[in-house]
Amino acid sequence: MIVQKYGGTSVGSAARIRRVCRRIADTVRAGHQVVAVVSAMGHTTDRLIDLARRVSDDPPARELDMLVANGETITAPLVAMCLQEQGVPAISLTGPQAGVRTSNHHSRARIQEIRPDRIREALEAGRVPVVAGFQGVTDDFEITTLGRGGSDTTAVALAAALGAEVCEIYTDVDGILTADPRVVPEARLLSHISYEEILELAAAGARVMHPRAVEIGELYGVAIHVRSSFRRRPGTMIVSEVPMEDRNRVRGVAQERGVAKVTVLGVPDRPGVAAAIFEPLSGAGISVDVIVQNVSTAGHTDLTFTVSDTDLARSLELVGPAAREVGAQGLSHSAGLAKVSLVGTGMLGTPGIAARMFGTLAAAGINIEMISTAEIRITCIVDGQHAATAVRALHAAFRLDQVEGPTSAAGPASAAAPA
């Protein structure tokens, strides 16, 4: 049994729906049971939200859910009727009909349980269930939506509930690449990646699959295959353990632009200071990304954090008074920065990767503003103007364009670092 999820671009027109259905039909004819999960066509969701804004300045989340859920319930019957036209028995199901039970947090509901009775019934009757993604129902029969990454989440959760062999996520890219191909033309498709690695890549700015769906996949051990809906070749398998020879490597380099940095200078080194500074930000819903605090000198330290450029002004307003209150000596900030990150399970216990990353950036004449590391990730904050150069230099230095195989940090790859 295979769960196949088709995103908005894949079902963006009648012609594309016909193509998606040919692929589902081929999978069925190859002897698989298929459950399809579909998103709203193209820009349907945006258009519905735009309509809402034209009748209400602040649409209630419950009504917005009722409204945007129509995007997916339009696609599902179109796909089901198209499959039948192609000779494949099929039946569309809304999220509620498919048994997707959620919490009652409108616009960001969590799946609590799936009762896939009707899906199983359809499969036993030899039909392809076509499920409207992104939506569910509460115990009170209220319609909810799952928020960002919702259809991916529906698909992976269904694959878990049904015990499917694999959950295929069809998208407009070929799979997970070593870098953004618009920045690095030599970026290479990864055949496998681990849940941890893709979660770190997503946190580092790579927008391929929503972390939420990946987390469910990891929790229930669902193999996720991210692949192109336009080309027939295999994409990237997200699994718990990547094959041995791929493991000991840097797997990808990610970037995120539009980063701003705030430094609180001369903060007294005593308990409660960090909390006093970050609480106003969290209260205002501002997301703080990287936080760095160095060891203190003479009872004082500098505390630096990043927010998105668009949140900078508001962050300074909030942090200013808090900093004065805790007795900090001042604030400094800069905007227009970028986050550049290396991700790979291979970093665990492979010495020298960080050193080579810093060396590569230095050789390219790029100054590092901040450094932050996690178990399988190293992130440098650099000037946004140098982000693309940094990504290309790192991609080359770590030979990410080459077919995978064990390398060591001190291996010959360092020779590939650009001048």
| Residues engaged in binding a copy of itself (CB under 8 A) | 14, 17-18, 21, 48, 51-52, 54-60, 62-64, 66-67, 69-70, 73-74, 76-82, 84-85, 91-92, 94, 96-97, 141, 143
- Contact criterion met (CB below 8 Å) for 154 and 3: no
Query: With respect to a copy of itself, which residue has the nearer C-beta, 69 or 216?
Result: 69
Q: Which is nearer to a copy of itself, 98 or 226 (by Cβ)?
A: 98
Q: Given the structure tokens 């080359």, which residue do they identify?
A: 396
In the complex, least distance from residue 392 CB atom to a copy of itself, rounded to whole angstroms: 43
DSSP 3-state of 101:
strand
- Of residues 57 and 124, the one with the C-beta less far from a copy of itself: 57
Nearer to a copy of itself, 229 or 345 (CB): 229
- Pick between residue 133 and residue 252 the one whose CB is nearest to a copy of itself: 133
Maximum CA extent, the chain: 77
> How many whole angstroms separate alpha carbon 262 and alpha carbon 246?
38
Closest CA to 172 of 120, 111, 222, 235: 235
Q: How far is the CB of 80 from a copy of itself (least distance, A)?
A: 5
Rounded to a whole number of angstroms, the minimum distance from the CB of residue 152 to a copy of itself is: 22
Region of residue 352 (left: phi > 0; alpha: psi -120 to 50; beta: else): left
Backbone angles phi, psi at 295, to 5 degrees: -65, 155
Of 82 and 397, CB closest to a copy of itself: 82
Hey, how many other C-beta atoms are within 10 angstroms of the C-beta on 405?
10
Nearest CA-CA partner of 335 in 369, 361, 367: 369
* Beta carbon of residue 151, minimum distance to a copy of itself (angstroms, whole number): 17
User: What minimum distance in Å lies between the beta carbon of 98 and a copy of itself?
Assistant: 11
How far apart are alpha carbons 133 and 150 in whole angstroms?
7
Question: Nearest approach, Cβ of 111 to a copy of itself (angstroms)?
Answer: 19
